[in-house]
Amino acid sequence: MEKMTKINTPEVLEKLISNLTKKLNDKIDGKAGIRKIVICGGTGCLSSNSKQIYEEFLKLIGEYNLSEKVEVNMVGCFGFCSQGPFVKIYPEDTLYRMVKVEDVKTIIETDLVNHKVCEELVYVEPNTNVKYPKQDDIPFYHKQLRIALHGCGTINPENLEEALGCDAFKGLIRALKMSPQEVIDEVLASGLRGRGGAGFPTGKKWQFAHNEKSDVKYVVCNGDEGDPGAFMDRSILEGNPVSVIEGMMIAAYAIGASNGYFYVRAEYPVAVSRLEKAIHALEEVGLLGDNILGTNFSFRAHIRLGAGAFVCGEETALLNSIEGKRGMPRPRPPFPAVKGLWGKPTIINNVETLANIPFILREGANKFNTIGTKNSKGTKVFALGGKVKNVGLVEVPMGTTLRDLIYDIGGGIPNNKRFQAIQTGGPSGGCLTISELDTHIDFDNLVEKGSMMGSGGAIVIDEDNCMVDVAKFYLEFICDESCGKCSQCRIGTKRLLEIVDRITKGKGEIEDIERMEELSSSIQAGSLCGLGQTAANPVLSTLSKFKDVYIRHIVDKKCDAGVCKDLVNYTIDENLCKKCSLCARKCPVGAITGTVGKTPFAIDHSKCIKCGLCYDSCKFNAIRRG
């Protein structure tokens, strides 16, 4: 990429955007006379050698004398993580999945040289065995709509020209032609609610900070994504960091701030690196700094790395961390919009919230407002994981049902297992069961059903999971992450975990159910921040929906899922045993004995570690779990 000159006026930027948009579209449409190859550069695909795939393409394209006919780029996440790494070729839109380094030569010879599709590398729908060479034809993408993920999987996140060619800064140009209040009114009219947790109206938060009289104000981007299994914000920052920077700049203009801070987990090195490069590139051309586009608006962006404390996702604890203090929540009021970073008015929005802002200013509030439900506008990004076939990053319009999310987009439960629940909202959320699959996803509906939207984690749970163990898992996480400031959270969650742990070991009492409910109420009432106030949700939610499972553990001393090892025994039915020895060969501790073809096999319970490998391996249902 040639070094861009300084951009001093909106007219110059508009003309540049127009030219770069045509340039990018011509490459995608094939009008530029070249083939454009994009390779997934999200963290998941990078861990599966996508960088080496990229380097192999560069090497072999040179060897095949295709350098003038082919352009290769690393891009952001394609979303369909269980099928990565991805290679996509324009203008044909051919998508290859689960690509290995050794497949690069095949793709070059078959597709680039001979113009034929590599049939063995395209996606095959498991239920129908139908091949889908093009991304848009794959059912996983059918009900999705990318707004926050705009540009991810299409543009090179380290190339400012491609970002500008993909609508970047059109929203800021329009915002700078409006008054700050008009910008806030536009965000209010859009109905955008914060995507980081409780769903507070974004425009209202901006209005509070705008109304404060102060010579210094701040904007903070919360990228401290800490929910287990969540990677929404990381993927946005990796795939299109310029869109988030633009969203922050629009927010800063609206409230009168001249400095913004990105607070990002240090465990996100790819996101941090790309964000740093984007900030530097924007500074080089004058789109960050003093008198941006010849106006009175000046703004600088800074990065602060978080040490991975879940509590720093709470906005006041995050502010303490940026200031160099221990990440512990502050009493509220005053709220950050009144007294935030270094005592100055501050707005804090998470990554996904800011990524929606450019669309709203670029396309207008009315267009955003037409997407979603009455009280939850736009789309929501989910990290769909757990016991679901199509694990990945999903962005759907608000109002999409859980059934659509799990079965149409997610592909359903692997191995024909029975769906049991979906945990939304991470440790602070709750589980929703089969009777709630037709719930329309929005902020209010999920709360009404006993869960919450949260930042967008969605973990699918099948019949092989124990719901008491699920509650234990999240409680262990909460206990580890409690900052310790409030005794109800610091001590109460520990006592709650002890009760649940006791139940999983067959030592529970029926009175423990009432004890857990009372203790949960105390934790909720006595905790200062959102982490403590929702710390008991894993127990309350599972108790509400699966009390019979708790009673089964307490009264019958049984874990039907076979997860709580102290409540499980494995035995072999000698009448069904085929004497094949497969179970004995799978046993890691030699607890199974017998003679192949002669005597039935049996389990020595003094040696058995209850790992369940024998149960899973037996093809004749001869092993009983009880």
Mean pLDDT across 227-238: 92
Q: Evaluate whether 243 touches 151 at the Cβ level (below 8 Å).
A: yes
How many angstroms separate the CA atoms of 111 and 118, rounded? 7
Reply yes or no on whether the pLDDT at 224 is more than 70. Answer: yes
Rounded CA separation 474/539 (Å): 9
> Helix (H, G, I), strand (E, B), or coil: what is residue 396?
strand
Q: What is the DSSP letter of 408?
A: I
CA dist., res. 260 & res. 275, Å (int) = 13
| pTM of the shown model | 0.94
Q: Is the pLDDT of residue 481 over 60?
A: yes
Q: CB atoms < 10 A from the CB of 511, how many?
A: 9
**Interval 103-155: pLDDT, tens:** 999 999 999 999 999 999 999 998 888 999 999 999 999 999 999 999 999 99
pLDDT of residue 196: 85
Report the alpha-carbon distance of residue 133 to residue 102 in Å, rounded: 20
Q: What is the pLDDT of residues 404-461, one digit of tens each?
A: 999 999 999 999 999 999 999 888 889 999 999 999 999 999 999 989 888 888 999 9
Task: Give residue 197's pLDDT band: very low, low, confident or very high (50, 70, 90).
Answer: confident
Residue 351, token pair as written in the block: 């990554």
As given in the structure block, the two tokens for residue 379 are 């789309």
Q: What b-and-e string marks burial along 476-499, b requiring 16 or more CB atoms within 10 Å of the CB?
A: bbbbebbbebbebbbbbbeebbeb
pLDDT digits (tens, 9 = 90+) for 542-572: 999 999 999 999 999 999 998 999 999 999 9
Structure tokens at 516: 């857990």
Q: List pLDDT tens digits, range 529-544.
A: 888 889 999 999 999 9
* CA 345, chain centre distance (Å): 29
Q: Within 10 A of 373 (CB to CB), how many other CB atoms are there?
A: 18
What average pLDDT does the segment 191-212 reach? 94
Higher local confidence (pLDDT), 289 or 313: 289
- H/E stretch holding 430 reads strand 430-433
Which 8-state DSSP code applies to residue 335?
P
Q: What confidence category does residue 1 fall into, taking pLDDT thresholds of 50, 70 and 90?
A: very low
Alpha-carbon gap, residue 313 to 306, rounded angstroms: 10
Q: What confidence score (pLDDT) does residue 513 get?
A: 96
Answer whether residue 227 shows pLDDT above 90.
Answer: no
Q: Output phi, psi for 572, to 5 deg.
A: -110, 125
Q: What is the mean pLDDT of residues 84-106?
A: 96
Identify whether the C-beta of residue 50 lies closer than 8 Å to the C-beta of residue 39: yes
Q: Which pair of structure tokens corresponds to residue 177?
A: 């032609």
Tell whether the torsion through CA atoms of 148, 153, 158 and 163 is positive or negative. negative
Q: To the nearest whole percent, how much of the chain has pLDDT over 90? A: 89
462 has pLDDT over 70 = yes
CB 71 within 8 A of CB 34: yes
Q: pLDDT tens-digit profile of 385-403?
A: 999 999 999 999 999 999 9
